[in-house]
Amino acid sequence: MKRKQFLASMLPLGAVAGAFASENPIGTPTLTDTKEHESGSDLPIKVPPYLKRGDTIGIACTAGFIMPEEIKPSVDLMTSWGFKVKVGNTIGKKDFSFGGTDLERTQDFQQLIDDPNVKAIMCARGGYGSVRIIDQINFNPLKEKPKWIIGFSDITVMHCHLNRNFNLASIHSKMCNSFPDVFDVAEPIVQDTIMSIKYALTGVKMKYTAPPNEKNRTGIVEGTIVGGNLKTIETLSGTKSDIKTADQILFLEDTGEYLYSIDRMFWNLKRTGKLAKLKGLIIGGFKIK
């Protein structure tokens, strides 16, 4: 299956996460002195309120940098859906490959979490950098007022951290840098993928299909879907952002990796027990170098 086909079929299913962190200021780890990360994934799944017309979606860089003109197609389209958009302070900032310094990215994301008018946060793009700030973010405001966190690739850090610690539902999806310049002439599968973001945010029920594969193991299963980018999941192994997969449906995707590297990563999953007690495994797009 091609990567964009996987995203079109899987996007709003999301990685499941949660929000019950301690009250620590920006610049200090939110969970270092608690044991919540040991039991977060055992808590009931908490689904943020679905959005309605007039609600605000925030945009921030937690990883790579992006310029204001690059997010314009996403802002225009989300505005046409009836949402307001709040552009974070990191849009247009650059520190090496990052969308601003670690402190700037932390403060920007934190400000959107703390803003009661922001109902969802879309990460502007992936790349690398979220792991550098994840422990400095205070997720405590989401305890009482959960909101959707949106993204994929490097944003798997966020999904896994929230899943392991808080069990708040989040959305694994394309981000601002993936919106087509002209939506009406984009490929149908691209349009479907982007529109599924709107459907996921507004609670529209969807049916997901994927081309069959001879390697499939057929069956009927029900469970929470967790996962995301394989390389990112491997790098989180052994940390307090490491996901628990027992009795879950694990989904995985990646791009730009050598075949031997993918093999090594799957051995990591096997040796750390992540494949032992799965309810199901969904393999998405893998683009080999």
pLDDT in tens, 160-179: 999 998 899 999 999 999 99
State CA 217 to chain mean position distance.
Answer: 27
Determine phi and psi for 18, rounding to 5 degrees: -165, 180
Average pLDDT, the chain: 87
Determine phi and psi for 3, rounding to 5 degrees: -55, -45
Mean pLDDT of 245-267: 96
Burial class (CB in 10 A: 0-12, 13-18, 19+), 98: buried
Mean pLDDT of 18-35: 30
Beta partners for 253? Answer: 229
Mean pLDDT of 11-22: 32
Pick 29 or 244 by higher pLDDT: 244
Residue 144's pLDDT is: 87
Asked if residues 74 and 186 have their Cβ atoms less than 8 Å apart, the reply is no
Q: Which residue has the tokens 């690398």?
A: 128
Residue 263's pLDDT is: 97
Mean pLDDT of 173-194: 96
Going by pLDDT thresholds of 50, 70 and 90, the confidence category of residue 11 is: very low
Going by pLDDT thresholds of 50, 70 and 90, the confidence category of residue 94 is: very high
Asked if residues 256 and 126 have their Cβ atoms less than 8 Å apart, the reply is no
Going by pLDDT thresholds of 50, 70 and 90, the confidence category of residue 226 is: very high
pLDDT of 213 above 60: yes
pLDDT of 124 above 60: yes
pLDDT of 200 above 70: yes
Pick 237 or 209 by higher pLDDT: 237
Q: Among 42-56, 69-83, 172-186, name the one with the lowest average pLDDT.
A: 42-56
Q: Please state the pTM of the whole predicted model.
A: 0.85
Residue 45's pLDDT is: 87
Asked if residues 8 and 155 have their Cβ atoms less than 8 Å apart, the reply is no
Mean pLDDT of 45-55: 96
Residue 39's pLDDT is: 44
Each as own residue / partner, the long-range contacts of residues 178-186 (CB below 8 Å, 24 or more positions apart, any chain) are 179/73, 179/74, 179/77, 180/73, 181/73, 182/73, 183/73, 183/77
Could you give the 3-state DSSP secondary structure of residue 155? helix
Residue 285's pLDDT is: 86
Residue 41's pLDDT is: 55
Mean pLDDT of 2-19: 38
Mean pLDDT of 132-139: 97
Burial class (CB in 10 A: 0-12, 13-18, 19+), 23: exposed
Q: Is the Cα torsion angle 30, 22, 149, 103 positive or negative in sign?
A: negative
